[in-house]
Amino acid sequence: MVERAEPEVPLAVQADLRGVSRSGLYYRPVAPSAEEVALTHRIDEIYTEFPFYGSRRVAATPRREGRPANRKAVRRHMREMGLAGAAPGPHTSRPHPAHPTYPIPTCCGTSPQRHRTPAGVYFAAPSAPTAHDQIKEGGESGFCVLTPASVS
């Protein structure tokens, strides 16, 4: 501890020896207010009922009840309690490396490139273009149409 009453060594030196700042010697922790404790309990209740809510949705709930809650304060309380909304992790829409991809020629006649459909799915094996398939330009629309060789 630090010797405060009639110190033989100055407080600045004592603080330096203890490895704390001099202002840290004077800090007195303050207990949280009743409002803050009530907000923490309400956050816990909301999160227990809706574990997929993030800090924004959790902060909106007390606001609708007439008890305004700052989102940053809600976020701080959630972090202190170790709460986080259940959400998908990163990179969930990336294709699996084991799934095959198929090259498709471009409309301009350049070299083949990997192609994804608008739905985000790579061409499956049965519908993959072959060397005998033809690409017809769609005229005014500017779209390209992949036609099997037997249909043309």
Overall residue count recorded for the chain in this entry: 152
The pLDDT confidence band at residue 11, using thresholds 50, 70 and 90, is confident
Burial class (CB in 10 A: 0-12, 13-18, 19+), 152: exposed
Residue 133 has pLDDT above 60, yes or no: no
Tens digits of per-residue pLDDT, 55-77?
999 999 999 999 888 999 999 99
Distances in Å between the Cα of 81 and the Cα atoms of 45, 71, 141 are 12, 15, 57
Q: Model-level pTM?
A: 0.50
Q: What is the pLDDT of residue 35?
A: 92
